[in-house]
Chain A
């Protein structure tokens, strides 16, 4: 092995061609990348930028149809034996460890995780069964999982997302690889878990002295962990630099745009005297899951949550997945039956007598996934016009209204006659907003409306919400798992945890001086844009995870 100063990995001019008919010629073009031992290089880019393809090329596992046309990859001082199946097999898992985005999906569902770790050791030549078992337990302990014996004989579905990712990390590091590749390892996880996993990867990387190639779309994650950052866009590296260079004085416009699209805290002040448009009192929602023919099991998704929304105000509903925030808004919208509580819309109880069609106009919804929210067989303009048609407009009037709305949300006139699949994700979300606004609602409910979008698009849609609200004066109930987003646009905030509202108040109060422990955990877990959350990260990271990740 070379000395610690020489490059562990050296990629020169890597070019990977896309099959004919794709939207561009190359998945990756002319990529130069080098990593030293113990160094962390972050590859940042939005979906489709070619960052994951680069990782697959390193393992000689390119998807069918993609071919490496140019470039040289040197690993540990020798050319990578691409094409030699036996040689590559020995490198994979042994010299290069890989951590994936979907932790649970990358484990065999019908084999215990202990067996899976031991199998990895076995296929890379560890002969003794006893040694394999000892090493597996040692690694489970190393990734800070409590009760290693129990975890060892667990099946993947018995683990939370965070626990499964810890197992994946244990497998990636079990053979002390020289290079660790982490491909969006925290994207599928909840925000508090994200911080723990990030800290764990960083600590173990130092401990094992491996080089780390960290792939992500989220610049804020990078701030905590990177030595060097490379920003990729459409297969090409647009900017390279140390972490401080990239964050302090970015030079490429795309990097600047990415940095600016990170939401900044800056809570607005509330107008105290506006009338209340929506009030939810003691909302409870219980799902009855069918369990056999005769039995049902009750799941309490929401327990006794109240909230008040004033005219023109933005109220944030913050919590992790499974906290009951989406159930709550579905209950408020009368899409889900309430098992308790009342909802008052402009002072009228809509839970007792149901909602008339006219009442429905007053409160509208923008959903998380803009792909499924539009009928694939309907032209965009007519999807937007639906609301006007339902409320009695003629086709001509409705089309007229739809065109106005398209202009309002910043879509060109031609958009009217296109089908949903011809739009990008951000444009589709604009269409959904236009469809909701066509009936001139007093209240707009945005249910994770930006979380399915790329970062730079998120910022645009967030800005669109803000400007439309200013222009049209509707109140917003803004559901999000992302505290930074809540901080940037909400007047008031309700923090939800396991079906209950644990904290409620003005955004400035809740987010600056949180009273509840859970809110504090959430806040600590948020990396700020210049990466100064390191102290809190270290705190979370050093605590041994109890294995009870909230999920």
Chain B
């Protein structure tokens, strides 16, 4: 592992942005005295301060006079929580299945890989829309659905990696020496798989962010009075041409977050294992 100073400039900026985003999500609410739900019919569509607005509402207000800065902070918090918990669910669930498939092979392997195939043949957003048509949307449901996006990639990668590590000479030697299965898993297979999971985590995180914000943008995700970055964009869409900041600010935050995590992820992947470059693509 190299130190922060050895990293390419783009990676350093990206890490900086991710940290800034997390800080904003956690403490952004303290930058403004307003609550994100507080409406004020007198202050509707106030522009940001640099477009002729007042310091009262630094980033302006929306159609109900709610403070945009307060809403962005809250939206960032929700988006961050959904992304992290969702990605964790997918990582744990998918990795466990991959471990089982690669470790036990046989019937379990066949079944799990078939489930992976089914999942891979339908885009997650379609599944999510189907579920949302049937059940009442809630934060928990969104987190679960986001969690199910990408599990198949973890399963596939962890399975492949388990199979390949099992065949390495030093694991064979360990088996011949009489080591227990637990020792082999803990000392050899898990440390190797950890890198794979870490890299996939950084690839998957932007996708979960995009899924949640897209659902909220369609008005089917996070429901009022709660808010998220996608929902703020959806709210401001009708005033795109007149009050563009209502959509462009949250959109830019989503984009730069996804971009930063991707840049860090690419770099991490090259650091940990250059041969992983194409591990995610389908083999035949």
Contacts and interface: CB of A to CB of B under 8 A. Distances in A.
28 contacts: A293-B114, A333-B176, A357-B180, A360-B176, A360-B178, A363-B176, A365-B176, A367-B169, A367-B172, A367-B173, A371-B169, A372-B168, A372-B169, A374-B169, A374-B170, A375-B170, A375-B188, A383-B170, A386-B174, A386-B177, A386-B179, A387-B177, A390-B174, A390-B177, A390-B179, A432-B173, A436-B173, A439-B178
A306 B41 CA distance: 92
List 9 tightest A-B contacts by C-beta distance, closest first: A360-B178, A373-B169, A372-B169, A357-B178, A375-B170, A387-B177, A365-B176, A367-B169, A390-B179
Nearest to B170: A375
B175 interface: yes
A16 B80 CA distance: 57
B183 interface: yes
Contact of B110 (A293, A335, A364): A293
A364 B177 CA distance: 7
Interface string A334-371: 01000000000000000000010111110111010111
Contacts of B175: 335
Contacts of A335: 172, 175-176
A252 interface: no
A402 to B, nearest CB: 13
Interface string B119-157: 000000000000000000000000000000000000000
Nearest to B117: A293
Interface in A428-449: 432, 435-436, 439
Nearest to A383: B170
Contacts, number: 61
Contacts of A470: none
Given A293-B110, A293-B114, A375-B188, A390 B178 contact: yes
Interface in B173-213: 173-180, 183, 188, 191
Given A293-B110, A293-B114, A375-B188, A365 B178 contact: no
Given A375-B188, A390-B183, A435 B173 contact: yes
A359 B176 CA distance: 10
A467 B137 CA distance: 75
B172 A365 contact: yes
Interface size class of A (residues with CB under 8 A): 20 to 34
Contacts of A371: 169
A374 B171 CA distance: 9
B177 A360 contact: yes
Looking at B168, B174, B177, the one whose CB has the most chain A CB atoms below 10 A away is: B177
A391 B177 CA distance: 9
B283 to A, nearest CB: 13
Nearest to A370: B169
Contacts of A435: 173, 177
Interface in B11-68: none
Contact of A364 (B169, B176, B191): B176
A373 B173 CA distance: 7
B258 to A, nearest CB: 33
Contacts of B191: 377
A446 to B, nearest CB: 12
A348 B239 CA distance: 84
Given A333-B176, A365-B173, 20 more contacts: A293-B110, A293-B114, A357-B178, A357-B180, A359-B178, A360-B177, A361-B177, A365-B176, A373-B169, A373-B170, A375-B188, A383-B170, A386-B177, A387-B177, A390-B177, A391-B177, A432-B173, A435-B173, A436-B173, A439-B177
A367 B110 CA distance: 31
Contacts of A383: 170
A371 B168 CA distance: 10
B170 A372 contact: yes
A369 B169 contact: yes
B172 A361 contact: no
B121 to A, nearest CB: 14
A360 B184 CA distance: 15
A377 B168 CA distance: 13
Interface string B95-133: 000000000000000100010000000000000000000
B40 to A, nearest CB: 60
Nearest to A356: B178
Contacts of A358: 178
Nearest to A288: B106
A219 to B, nearest CB: 29
Nearest to A391: B178
A361 B176 CA distance: 8
A432 B110 CA distance: 36
Contacts of A391: 177-178
Nearest to A439: B177
A141 to B, nearest CB: 36
Contacts of B179: 386, 390
Interface in A307-342: 333, 335
Contacts of A374: 169-170
Contacts of A373: 169-170, 172-173
A355 B179 CA distance: 11
Contacts of B183: 390
A374 B191 CA distance: 15
A191 to B, nearest CB: 24
B105 to A, nearest CB: 10
A374 B169 CA distance: 7
A273 to B, nearest CB: 29
Nearest to A358: B178
Nearest to A361: B178
Contacts of B177: 360-361, 364, 386-387, 390-391, 435, 439
A435 B169 CA distance: 13
A390 B179 CA distance: 6
A360 B180 CA distance: 11
